Structure formats: C-alpha cells, structure tokens
C-alpha cells in the first residue's frame, strides 16, 4: 500500500525517508520536531497513557521536500502534504476585515499558489486550528471570520466554494497561531454529503456572512488506494444544533451523521464497503468532564476502533463534541 497512517505515543525524530507528513497532538516535552512537515496541535489528550501522540503518513514512494511562503511540504508523484502556521499579529485589520480574516485568506492563497506551482491541483483534506474560535470580536465570532477569509481565497483563486470542496475540520485551541495542515493530490476527490444535513457551503446567513467551505467527507485516490476522509462532524440536523446540553445525545447524533456519510461513501466507493468499526477517529471534547460519558456512549457504536480524544473547542457554542474519522482500502484487493 503506497500510503499508510501510523500513530505512536512517542515523538519520532529519526527519519527513515518514508515520512510524508503528520501531526503532533497533545502536550509533549519540549524538543526538536521531526524533519518532515508536522502540524503542532497543543491540546490536552483525554484518557491517554502519554501526554502526546505522533501521527504520521508514510509512503513507499520517493519523496521530495520544499519550503515555500512559510509552508513546509513533502510530496510524491501523486500527492502532497503541507503545514502552514501564521501569526495573526502579522496582519492588519482593515475596514470590514479582521486580523484573523486576513490571515485565513492569505493562508489559503499561499496553499493554492503552492498547489499550482507543484501541479497538485486538488485539495483533498484540510485540518484547521485557531485560537479562541468562539470569541466574538467586532461583532462577529472568530470562526465566522475564519470562514470569510477562507471563502475569499477560494473565490479569488478561482476555486469553487460549493460542490467539489475538500473535507475539513476547524477546531478551537486555547491559544497559538492559525495552523493549517493539508493533503492534496493530482487526481480529484469525490466529495461526500450527508442527506441528514444541509451542505455546509449552503448554510443560511444565520451562521455568518460566508458559509463554511468544506464537504462532509471525501473519497480520495492515492496510487492503488481508496481513502475515506470524514470531516469534523457534530450534532447537527439540517443546519441546526440538536440535543443542546445533552452530551450523550450529541454523541449519538454525531455518530448517526458519520454513519450517513459512510453509507454515501459505500454508494460511490470503488473498493469494498467501509464500516464504522474500521474507522480511525479523533474526538474533540469541549469539556473534559464529559469524556467518560462520551467514551461510554461511543463504545457500543464503534467497538474497539482506534480513537484519540482531544480537549478542544468546537465551532458553535452549543456543540459539546466533534468527531472526525478516516479509513483506507487497497484497490488492488477490491
């Protein structure tokens, strides 16, 4: 299999030449980061035996590396993984624009310029992290400011803001820069939507001046593989939050939405069907005190699937958790 995903409680510093990129999640002791592109996600792990985990994408193909406009990246012939961090303080707030909006737009403009230069045009999956995601500044919540900047970049770089847009998450951390990791390919993704929900890019103006620019999931095709990415998924039906204040109810509703995306993926996939039990999950939990209830609620739904729990903020004040997931199949065995 050309691309694989591994998770380890230790920080890997010795390079084997097979690393494409990854993420370091948690609160590890200070030290040098690996040489490959690594997104730092400073957020407490819940129920883990270590303070941090290192998640790495490995490839059996030759890799080339580069650094452009603040983006550390690596690529093979068919895909590219990159990481970018921007400090909002480096951007000016102007009339009708905040520092975060300006930083978000610039971040995505840089990503699109890199993908154009490297001829890897199709953005597959994006991981966005920003500080104080629910804070209202100048009359607009920061998540909504981020959405304005992101969509501006999509439109100005002649990328559609509806339909064929990447799978993504946007998560709030206690502090730090705007951090974006992304995977892109030379072949287009197959975007997935959820019939239980309004597509995020079609949300009404109640949720801000610009809709979020992401699909509910995506099927992507590295050489010989089919990977299912499920975007950050929460307790939303239509476009409204359901089960406010009920963390178990929100957990069940989030999994019902993930199941709906899996059903859609299985309708379109080229390999054998995906199942909830084979997915690898990352669960973002707003309040650490809810961890036990969430874990107990998930157990009968997904069994012994690989799960990482992270304490972080969600894009709406009334959402108590968000779940993202992924799985990979070999096409050669299909």
Do residues 52 and 24 touch, judged by C-beta distance below 8 A?
Answer: yes
- Per the annotation, the verdict on 322 as an active-site residue is yes
Catalytic one among 253, 322, 332, 333?
Answer: 322
Q: Which residues pair with 282 in a beta bridge?
A: 308, 324
The confidence score (pLDDT) of residue 33 equals 75
CB 326 within 8 A of CB 289: no
181 with 70: CB under 8 angstroms?
no
In a 3-state reduction of DSSP, which class is residue 262?
A: helix
pLDDT at 164: 92
How many CB atoms lie under 10 A from the CB of residue 137? Answer: 13
State which residues form the domain around 312: 3-330
**CB hemisphere CA count around 119 (13 angstroms):** 3
Which position has the token pair 């993926």? 265
77 vs 81: CA distance, rounded Å:
12
Express each pLDDT in 71-94 by its tens digit. 999 999 999 999 999 999 999 887
Q: Which residue has the tokens 């905040």?
A: 98
Q: Rounded to an integer, what distance in angstroms lies between the CA atom of residue 68 and that of residue 250?
A: 41
Contact between residue 194 and residue 231 where contact means Cβ atoms under 8 Å apart: no
Give yes or no for a contact between 123 and 184, defined as CB atoms under 8 angstroms apart. Answer: yes
Domain count of the fold of the chain? 1
Mean pLDDT of 266-284: 96
- List, in sequence order, the alpha helices (H) in 131-246: 142-156
Helix 99-118 and helix 142-156, axial crossing angle in degrees, nearest 10? 30
For 287-317, how does the pLDDT look when each residue is reduced to its tens digit (9 = 90+)? 999 999 999 999 999 988 999 999 999 999 9
**Which tens digits make up the pLDDT trace of 176-229?**
999 999 999 999 999 999 999 999 999 999 999 999 999 999 999 999 999 999
CATH number where 174 lies: 3.30.1330.40
């Amino acid at each position: 299999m050309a691309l694989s995903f591994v998770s380890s409680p230790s920080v890997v510093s010795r390079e084997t030449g097979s690393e494409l990129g990854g993420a370091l999640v948690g609160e590890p002791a200070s030290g040098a980061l690996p040489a490959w592109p690594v997104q730092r996600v400073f957020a407490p792990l819940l129920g883990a035996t270590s303070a941090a985990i290192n998640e790495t994408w490995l490839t059996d193909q030759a890799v080339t590396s580069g650094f452009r406009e603040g983006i550390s990246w690596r690529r093979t012939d068919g895909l590219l993984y990159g990481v970018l961090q921007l400090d909002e303080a480096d951007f000016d707030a102007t009339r009708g624009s905040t520092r975060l909006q300006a930083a978000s737009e610039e971040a995505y403009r840089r990503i699109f310029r890199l993908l154009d230069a490297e001829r890897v045009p199709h953005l597959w999956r994006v991981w966005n992290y920003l500080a104080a995601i629910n804070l209202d500044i100048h009359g607009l919540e920061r998540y909504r400011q981020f959405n304005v900047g992101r969509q501006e970049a999509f439109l100005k770089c002649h990328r559609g803001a509806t339909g064929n847009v990447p799978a993504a998450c946007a998560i709030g951390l206690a502090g730090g820069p705007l951090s974006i990791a992304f995977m892109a390919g030379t072949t287009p993704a197959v975007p997935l939507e959820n019939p239980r929900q309004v597509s995020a890019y079609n949300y009404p103006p109640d949720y801000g001046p610009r809709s979020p620019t992401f699909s509910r999931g995506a099927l992507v095709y590295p050489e010989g593989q089919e990977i299912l990415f499920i975007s950050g998924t929460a307790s939303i039906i239509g476009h409204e939050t359901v089960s406010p204040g009920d963390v178990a109810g929100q957990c069940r509703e989030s999994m019902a939405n993930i199941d709906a995306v899996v059903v859609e993926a299985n309708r379109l996939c080229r390999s054998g069907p995906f199942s909830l039990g084979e997915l690898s999950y990352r669960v973002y939990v707003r309040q650490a005190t809810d961890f036990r209830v969430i874990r107990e609620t998930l157990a009968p739904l997904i069994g012994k699937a690989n799960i990482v729990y992270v304490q972080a903020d969600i894009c709406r004040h009334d959402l108590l958790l968000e779940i993202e997931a992924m799985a990979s199949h070999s096409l050669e065995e299909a």
